[in-house]
Chain A
Amino acid sequence: MGAMDINAYLTGWQTAIVPRILIGLLGLLIVLILARTIRSKRISLVPAILWSLAAAVLIIFSLFPQQLIRTVISTEYVMRMRIMMGFVSLLVLLITLESTRQARLQERYALLWVATALVILICAFFPSVVNLLRLLMGMNYTAAVVSVAFTFLTLVLFHFSISMSISQAKQARIAQKLALLETRVRELEERR
């Protein structure tokens, strides 16, 4: 986007009253629900912080859209990407660990997800890690991190295919055994 476009875009936000009110209301709604869940102690610390951050961003944006966007785009591009990836990896880590804690996810499946999140997190904290990839492949920072993350996600998917195949084979054996036992029970009942 050229400089002219940015100014026009920002002025557009300044005059878009209805969307701004809606966004602000959404932020307030999150604050409200968050307050209730915190009072009844149904939420742990980290999700509470993340949700209140989201609410704060929404409310500030609805009040000062122009200023917020300007402040954000005045920072360095790589820094923005690093912050965003840091958040994404924290989110993945959080969801994975929470699901494991609640025993919805087995540890052996959690491992690859945790690894994926950690790799992105390391890339966010130490951008020099992907320097070699940037140099060899001629990628920029974002593309390098995304391709590393993509590799790990592919591994996760492959892991799924393997465990699905194994489960299917086991399921077939169980179904066969069940049917054979059922036949046996029927025979015994008929004999009585």
Chain B
Amino acid sequence: MKETIVIVPAYNEELNIKTLLDEVRSAGPDLDVVILNDGSLDRTAEAARRSGAKVIDLPCNLGVGGAVQAGFSYAYENGYQYAVRIDGDGQHPPSEIPRLLEAIKSSEADLILGSRFLGEKSYGSTRLRYCGIYLLAQFLSLICRRKVTDPTSGFQALRRPLMYFFSQAYPMDYPEPEALALMRRQGYDFAEVPAVFRERQAGVSSIQGWGTLYYMLKVFLALIVDRARSVDPRLSRQRVMEAMQHGRDGY
């Protein structure tokens, strides 16, 4: 039984997935990998299975949030201590995974966020998108009382208690910024480390043009509405940690 699992949500990534899996394998021999095939129209699942990865085949397209949540459930149910989440399009280089794992093991944080804007600049996104991300980062830093530079990053490493929380509550579409706000409200903590991102290898991004505006509106609305919600004590960090230490059923 390995300690760490790499969760890869993939939608129509038949062409990228084999390379990505090979890269993950060469990044660390002590990593299990699970592909969340989010109702792809191409043969993503078969390509992944052929390269020897475990595949969870979602029966319909749930969006990246739904797929990743299924991955957290899987990781939690199978007893992993750490989970690393990377995107199936290859923009998160697997060679950076050890850096993230090292960071989470040496810190108190429940989640380590790989940021492309900390440290050396890796790749430039469009100006509009950068403005949006910057605004979002400022707002999130404010409400989370933690410095966030790359709120939309899906390059993350997390600990077991947070796996449980995310398996119970995770936003469905464009989930990353909202998930950060949600976890902070329940008492979980995160930190950022610099990470180098790549241009996506093939296929197209799901957020483009007018989509950027819609994305921004949706995320800001979600963040504000979440503030007005009450905290669920059953999912708070303290409660979940206590339950895990006592090895109670259901945790």
Contacts and interface: CB of A to CB of B under 8 A. Distances in A.
Interface of A: 168-169, 172, 175-176, 178-180, 182-183
Q: Looking at chain A's contact residues, is the secondary structure mostly helix, strand, loop, or mixed?
A: helix
A176 B54 contact: no
Contacts of B73: 176, 180
A176 B55 contact: no
Contacts of B62: 172, 175-176
A27 B13 CA distance: 61
Nearest to A168: B172
A166 to B, nearest CB: 13
Contacts of A179: 56-59, 70
A169 B74 CA distance: 18
Q: Which 9 A-B pairs have the closest CB atoms?
A: A176-B70, A172-B66, A179-B58, A179-B56, A183-B56, A172-B62, A175-B59, A175-B58, A179-B57
A178 B172 CA distance: 17
B54 A183 contact: yes
12 contacts: A172-B69, A175-B58, A175-B62, A176-B70, A178-B59, A179-B56, A179-B58, A179-B59, A179-B70, A180-B70, A182-B56, A183-B56
Nearest to B63: A172
B199 interface: no
B6 to A, nearest CB: 16
B202 interface: no
A176 B60 contact: no
Contact of B66 (A175, A178, A182, A183): A175
Given A172-B66, A172-B172, A175-B66, A180 B77 contact: yes
Nearest to A184: B77
A172 B56 CA distance: 14
Given A172-B62, A172-B172, A176-B62, A182 B70 contact: no
A175 B60 contact: yes
A176 B77 contact: no
Nearest to A187: B54
A180 B60 contact: no
Nearest to B58: A179
A168 B69 CA distance: 15
Contacts of A182: 56-57
B55 A183 contact: yes
Residue among B66, B73, B77 with the highest chain A CB neighbour number at 10 A: B66
Given A176-B62, A179-B70, 15 more contacts: A172-B66, A172-B172, A175-B58, A175-B66, A176-B69, A178-B59, A179-B56, A179-B57, A179-B58, A180-B56, A180-B74, A182-B56, A183-B55, A183-B56, A183-B74
B76 to A, nearest CB: 11
Nearest to A169: B172
A134 B57 CA distance: 59
B140 to A, nearest CB: 24
Contacts of A178: 59
A128 to B, nearest CB: 42
B237 to A, nearest CB: 23
Nearest to B49: A186
Interface string B59-85: 110100010011001100100000000
A68 to B, nearest CB: 54
Nearest to A176: B70
B32 to A, nearest CB: 12
Interface in B70-103: 70, 73-74, 77
A187 to B, nearest CB: 8
Contacts of A175: 58-60, 62, 66
A148 B54 CA distance: 57
